C-alpha cells in the first residue's frame, strides 16, 4: 500500500469512542517532543494534549526535549516503561531517517517503539529570504552551480525532512550547498528571515504567513504532488527534478511491548481527537493535515518510509555533523 492510498484509507476510518483499559490511566501522561517549542510537531502535541486529557480523564503534559535531531526524546521514550504514561510525538527524522543517517543509534524505531497512530502530514515548502533574487528552483540550482559550496540551506535539525530534502536537492541537481541545522522550526525561521541562510525546506505553517507579509518567497513544495492546502505552489518535481519527493509527517508512538488494551485505548482516544471537526479545521488553517490510522497502518507506514529514505541518505553522503 503506497503512502497516498494509506492516507486516503485512514481518513475514511469511522470514529470510535475510546474503550477503557483496566485501570489506565490513573496518573498523568507525558508526550515528549524532540524539538523546541514553535514548530509543527509542538503544535500537533499541544493541540492534542487537552483533548486527550478530556477523553482519558488524566492530565496530558507536553514536554519538549530538543537535541540530536529528535533522538533524545525518541530514546527516552524507547527506554521508558511500557505502561502508556510516556509517549512520543515523533517525526520522519528520528523515526525513519536517523537510523540510516546516524548508523549507531542506541534504539531502533521499528523494534523499540510501538506505533499508536499517524498524526498528520506536515506540508513543507522551499522558501528563500525576500532579498534573494531567486524566483524558481531552477534559479537556485543555477546560482549553486555558478558558486559551488557557497550557498547554504537551513533545516529544523539533523535528520529532519528539511535536511534530507536539501540533501536530495544537492544529489538530484548535482550541486553543492551546505547544511545548517537548527533546534526546531521555530529556531530556523528567524535565521531564514534575516538571510543568514540562503534557503530552507521549512513548514508551510511557519513560512506561508511570512511569505504573505513579504518577508519570504515560497518557490515550491517537496511533495510528489501539489499540496491541497496550498495548491498554487508548484512541486520541486514540476520545477525540473522529476521524482523529487520529500513529504514530512508526524506519528504518536509509545515504547515497545505496550500492552494491547492500553495501545487500543490510546489509539481510539488519539484518532477520536484527530477527527474532531474543530481540530481538523484549526489545523487546516495552519496548513497541517491530520491523518489518523490504526496502529497496524502506522507501523507499515514507518517501515515503508524507513526503506524509502535509506538509499537516498546513503547516496547523498549526508552525515549527522
Q: Which has more pLDDT, 187 or 276?
A: 276
pLDDT > 70: what percent of the chain? 93
- Beta strand 124-129 with 216-220 is antiparallel
Mean pLDDT within 217-226: 94
pLDDT at 3: 55
pLDDT at 122: 87
Q: Give Cα separations from 267 to 17, 178, 233, 299 (angstroms).
A: 10, 40, 34, 13
Cell of 274: 484527530
Handedness of CA 236, 238, 244, 249 (dihedral sign): positive
Q: Would you give the distance in Å from CA 136 to the centre of its chain?
A: 24
What are 232-275's pLDDT values in tens digits?
999 999 999 999 988 889 999 999 999 999 999 999 999 999 99
pLDDT at 20: 53
Mean pLDDT within 103-127: 95
Instruction: Quickly list DSSP for 296-318.
Output: HHHHHHHHHHHHHHHHHHHHHT-
Amino acid at each position: 500500500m503506497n503512502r497516498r492510498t494509506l492516507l486516503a484509507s485512514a481518513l475514511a476510518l469511522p470514529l470510535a469512542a475510546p474503550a477503557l483499559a483496566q485501570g489506565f490511566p490513573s496518573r498523568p501522561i507525558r508526550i515528549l517532543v524532540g524539538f523546541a517549542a514553535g514548530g509543527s510537531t509542538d503544535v500537533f502535541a499541544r493541540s492534542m494534549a487537552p483533548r486527550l486529557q478530556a477523553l482519558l480523564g488524566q492530565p496530558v503534559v507536553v514536554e519538549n526535549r530538543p537535541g540530536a535531531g529528535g533522538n533524545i526524546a525518541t530514546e527516552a521514550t524507547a527506554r521508558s516503561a511500557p505502561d502508556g504514561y510516556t509517549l512520543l510525538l515523533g517525526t520522519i527524522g528520528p523515526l525513519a531517517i536517523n537510523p540510516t543517517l546516524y548508523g549507531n543509534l542506541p534504539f531502533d524505531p521499528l523494534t523499540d517503539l510501538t506505533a499508536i497512530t499517524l498524526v498528520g502530514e506536515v506540508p513543507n515548502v522551499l522558501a528563500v529570504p525576500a532579498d534573494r533574487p531567486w524566483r524558481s528552483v531552477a534559479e537556485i540550482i543555477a546560482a549553486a552551480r555558478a558558486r559551488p559550496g557557497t550557498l547554504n540551506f537551513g533545516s529544523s535539525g539533523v535528520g529532519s525532512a528539511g535536511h534530507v530534502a536539501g540533501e536530495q536537492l544537492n544529489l538530484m541537481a548535482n550541486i553543492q550547498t551546505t547544511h545548517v541545522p537548527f533546534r526546531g522550526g521555530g529556531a530556523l525561521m528567524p535565521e531564514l528571515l534575516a538571510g543568514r541562510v540562503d534557503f530552507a525546506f521549512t513548514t508551510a505553517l511557519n513560512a506561508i504567513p511570512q511569505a504573505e507579509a513579504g518577508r519570504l518567497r515560497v518557490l515550491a513544495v517537496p511533495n510528489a504532488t501539489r499540496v491541497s492546502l496550498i495548491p498554487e505552489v508548484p512541486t520541486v518535481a514540476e520545477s525540473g527534478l522529476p521524482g523529487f519527493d520529500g513529504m514530512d509527517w508526524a506519528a504518536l508512538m509509545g515504547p515497545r511491548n505496550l500492552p494491547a488494551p492500553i495501545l487500543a485505548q490510546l489509539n481510539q482516544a488519539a484518532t477520536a481527537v484527530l477527527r474532531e471537526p474543530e481540530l481538523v479545521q484549526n489545523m487546516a488553517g495552519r496548513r497541517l493535515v491530520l491523518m489518523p490510522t490504526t496502529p497496524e497502518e502506522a507501523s507499515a507506514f514507518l517501515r515503508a518510509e524507513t526503506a524509502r529514505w535509506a538509499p537516498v541518505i546513503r547516496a547523498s553522503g549526508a552525515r549527522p555533523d
